[in-house]
Chain A
Amino acid sequence: MTLQKDVEVLRGVPLFAKVEPSKLKLLAFTSEHLEFLPGDIICKQGDVGDAAYVLLEGNADILVNTKDGQVKVAEINQHDIVGEIAILCDVPRTATVAATSRVSTIRISKDGFFNLVTQFPQVGVEVMHELASRLHHTTQRLTEASSRLRQVEGADPP
């Protein structure tokens, strides 16, 4: 069953890992599949985002605009999620995502996600756990980075 497969894939996404399978099934059922061809833009930096995409198949590049033009900063593959920030808060897309092969995705719309969270607060709690652990992780790395920066500055004052 294709829907069942979608649920498996969504469970593999850390953001949804702890969400009950039956809720994921509803999310999968109410989300659409979207296919992109090589070169298609999945999302564009600066645009208002209204959906996240979970890659079922294919690869895409993450590109960021810099002074020297677009620079590839990462690559995403099967079962990765992209654009999830947009469904959590209203910020413009922070990068461009371009398909490099035939990409098929599950498109999780902001509305669909919020519907799920408002209906089943437990889902929100699970997502919050995941986000908190991400924040913790990021904060840790930031602390490390800034202490390292201070060391470098202290060793070699300008």
Chain B
Amino acid sequence: MPPTIFSFINRYSWRKQLYIVAITVMMYPVLYATFELPKMIVNDALSQQRSHEYFGFNFTQLEYLWLLCGLFLIFVSVSGGIKYYVQVYQGILGERMLRRLRYLLYSHVLRFPLPHFRRVSQGELVQMINAEVEPVGGFAGDAYATVALQGGTLLTILTFTFLQDPILGFAAISLYPFQAYVIPKLQRQVNQLGKLRVRQVRRLAEKISETVAGVRDIRESDATRYERARFTKELGVVYEIRLQIYKKKFLIKFINNFLAQFAPFLFYAIGGYLVLQGNITLGALVAVLTAHEKMASPWKELLAYYQLMMDVRIKYDQVINQFVPIGLIDATKQDDEPDQDIAFEGSLRANNLTVAFDADSHVLDAVTFEVDLPSRVAIVGPAGAGKEELALVLANLLAPDSGRVLIGDVEITGLAETATGRQLAFVGNPASIMSGTIQDNLFYGLKYRPIEPKSSEEGEAEQKKRIEENEKSGNSLFDAEAEWTDYSKVGLEDPQKRLETINAVLRLVLLDQEIYGLGLRSRIDLTASEDLAAKLLEARREMFERLSSDERLSRLVEAFDPEAYNTNATLGENLLFGTPVDETFNMDNLAEHPYVMETIEAVGLTGELREVGFKLASTMVELFAELPPDHEYFRQFSFIQADDLPEYRNLLTRVEPDRLDKVSADDGRRLLALPFKLIPARHRLGLVEDDLQERILNARRYFRDNLPEHLKAAIAFFDPDEYNEEISIQDNVLFGKIAYGQAQASHQVGLLLAEILDKLDLRERVVAEGLAHECGSAGSRLSASQRQKLALAREIIKHPDMLVLYDPTGPLDAGEQTVVRQNIIEEFEGRTVFWAINDPSWAGVFDHVLVLDRGRIVESGSPDELATKGSSFVEITKAA
């Protein structure tokens, strides 16, 4: 990475900078002409009464004026046009340089040696790549162009002035040396402060990211006040620094402005004296004054440029320093295709592996061992023995300070990641999951290069243009939109076989049921999976038949019937008989919606629902009155929030039950808000009897028949013969409510659902929908144990020759850990596994055990050999 901002600019854009300067230089004569012409107009065209002859043409005075004015207009337009062109060009250049710089920095992050990540914080890196380099990129466009343009303008004006009168020319620049001396001095102080500011703002970024990551523990410790105070302190430091910078910056500005005003003083005094003495003409003095005024602007720009340059130089230096740590992985190791595959034959040998994070504490100390390949090896040892580091070295993720690992004759330490990354696999704890679907993550290990261009609507020309633009910014030439997953590497080109393998691997890590569950709860896109919807409708019919033909089953589910009231659904759901698509018909605020109210009024239900609301309010007030407001029952059971309870208690005393039609509008709304969440089968209050149910069915019909056009998109009605896109696969097949009060209902319905989906060969399709589940950023939408299982599945699907694991099952349940471990050991029969385990009692299932203690191998052998010796292996196992 270029060490200074100018070497960065020169290396990547010298041709373009040259071009920009050349164009700018071309502008000088034009610029000069725009100064010369007004003088000619004033001196020649206006003051001298004669005709002019140019190139054999004769002009009258008036014609001559028109000619000069026309020329002036042309020159002004040309100079403006060139300026515009240069500025746009600068802008593009600056953006490309910014893009290049960010890309370079990001690529460097990917190449950081692992231990370096202990020293940098995520917040700092984000701050640097996002915010700090922003002005650097912009500056790259201006680096030479501004000097050329503003400096050139200044020179042009100066030349013009000198040609008018050398003495006045000197007068115009007489104060520049003073400025050139004082301002850098002040600027140096600003620079020092600028450095401090950069560092301090990074601390802020670090503090914020630390807070985000640790907010749970901050609250748990009741330390929010402490953290606020600490943050305040940091902000205070930034404030002080910025204040100092402002003071100095404005001092510089003040001096500049003062001197700019001081020059005219000299002109008037000295110039005036000379005019009075008759040494120069008044016209010349006026012209010089105008020129000086014009000089003020480019001079100011140049000073601003100088300040920006200083600022950017600091930022660049301070960013670059952070991105070239010792041990930065060579770029070729991530880019160059490997020469050949590593042959996993013979034995794996580790010779004198040493890892030291500090000079005097060795994490691994001359680790030497040899195991035959293939072999399944457990690495055991007490905490701090160096198990994780040894695993990382074996996976070629951590470069040892000395020593090497050989597989057969191939030295793998320091081998390119392009080689080891495809044949070795590693899962640590916690493992990382990327954003994207579960399926994307499963095949993450097969995406090392694009294998097929994207087949898209995007035209070839546009695609070419996009790639060219990437190239101009020195970005990756690989197309992120292309197909990257190389199924052929693991023989899974056939989609059917792929799905089978996925299922098998998911079963192996005990993730199959969870993915199936995700699939059941997912919603499908009708346009994309019309055939699936049709099959799920078939499943719905099957479900309906099974439920209605078996008395034991029929009581478990109450199906949605357009002509019947569903006693296991809320009154609101019964009224809408569909799923709200957006917030329009939010179930919590149904009583607020004018169309819902219109419906109720139209079928004459208002009075009756108020009555139900009144009874409900009385019951709630009676039941919950004595509970403290924070009691969980309010959340679980009450129709009225604890905060609103006093309001309703007052309402009950205010309102007479037999005169509900006379209540105020507000009270009426309060009463009507209550009944919509009533579920007869659950609440057993006897408030929704047959007669009321019948009338709600009327309301349901009215609601649907008279729904205004603009509200039609807000609700997806339940239709027994239509797939409902707004509800999950499970709800679509069930098409009803699981009944309250039936023992084991949801469990039994789950079994029945699975049975029906299996019968119709839909299970795999549902799993496929589950595989399309988005994992969220860093897998945030999955649980810790799901992430860990998914990472294991990812590495198994990659089919590595050697799998290295560091406590990969840590976040799983104890019961699951045993099963998953056994499954993986069996799956890797005939291949090599190195497994750093925290529970040495597991070691029995491995072919070989390495016992580590304080960074040294103390024993090595089969579990049986080690167990009989009364060895430290036995000691460790006992201690655990």
Contacts and interface: CB of A to CB of B under 8 A. Distances in A.
B47 interface: no
A35 B631 contact: no
Interface in A21-72: 22, 25-26, 29-30, 32-37, 40, 42
Nearest to A40: B743
A119 B631 contact: yes
A125 interface: no
Contacts of A119: 626-628, 631
Chain A interface size, as a band, is: 20 to 34
B627 A35 contact: no
Contact of A29 (B552, B623, B626, B686): B623
Interface in B674-721: 682-686
A6 interface: yes
Interface residues of B, number: 23
Nearest to B624: A26
A2 B631 CA distance: 25
B636 A30 contact: yes
Interface in B152-175: none
Contact of B684 (A6, A37, A42): A6
B623 A26 contact: yes
Contacts of A22: 622-623
B637 A29 contact: yes
B742 interface: yes
Interface in B621-643: 622-624, 626-628, 631-633, 636-637
Contacts of A36: 743
A104 B742 CA distance: 9
Contact of B742 (A1, A2, A34): A34
B633 A2 contact: no
B236 interface: no
B633 A115 contact: yes
A1 B685 contact: yes
B498 interface: no
A2 B683 CA distance: 9
A127 to B, nearest CB: 18
Nearest to B625: A22
B824 to A, nearest CB: 32
B741 A32 contact: yes
A157 to B, nearest CB: 53
Interface string A103-130: 0100000000001000110000000000
Given A22-B622, A119-B627, A120-B626, A33 B741 contact: yes
A33 B683 CA distance: 10
Contacts of A42: 743
Given A25-B623, A33-B741, A3 B637 contact: no
A40 B623 CA distance: 33
A41 to B, nearest CB: 9
B607 to A, nearest CB: 21
Contacts of B686: 1-3
B737 interface: no
Nearest to B615: A1
Contacts of B628: 119
A33 B555 CA distance: 14
Nearest to B632: A115
B622 A35 contact: no
Given A1-B685, A3-B685, A25-B622, A35 B741 contact: yes
Contacts of B741: 32-35, 104
B740 interface: yes
A13 B555 CA distance: 28
A120 to B, nearest CB: 7
A33 B740 contact: yes
A40 B685 CA distance: 27
B567 to A, nearest CB: 12
Most buried by A among B626, B686, B741: B741
Contacts of B743: 34-36, 40, 42
Contacts of B740: 32-33
A29 to B, nearest CB: 6
Nearest to A42: B743
Interface string B742-766: 1100000000000000000000000
A37 B686 CA distance: 24
Contacts of A6: 684
Contact of B633 (A30, A32, A104): A30
Interface string B629-670: 001110011000000000000000000000000000000000
Contacts of B555: 35
B577 to A, nearest CB: 25
A113 to B, nearest CB: 13
A37 B555 CA distance: 10
16 contacts: A1-B685, A1-B686, A2-B685, A22-B622, A25-B623, A29-B683, A30-B636, A32-B682, A32-B741, A35-B741, A35-B743, A40-B743, A42-B743, A115-B631, A119-B627, A120-B626
Which 5 pairs between the two chains have the least Cβ-Cβ distance? A33-B741, A2-B684, A1-B686, A26-B623, A36-B743
Interface of A: 1-3, 6, 22, 25-26, 29-30, 32-37, 40, 42, 104, 115, 119-120
Given A26-B624, A104-B741, 14 more contacts: A1-B686, A2-B686, A22-B622, A22-B623, A26-B633, A30-B633, A30-B637, A32-B740, A32-B741, A33-B741, A34-B743, A35-B555, A115-B633, A119-B627
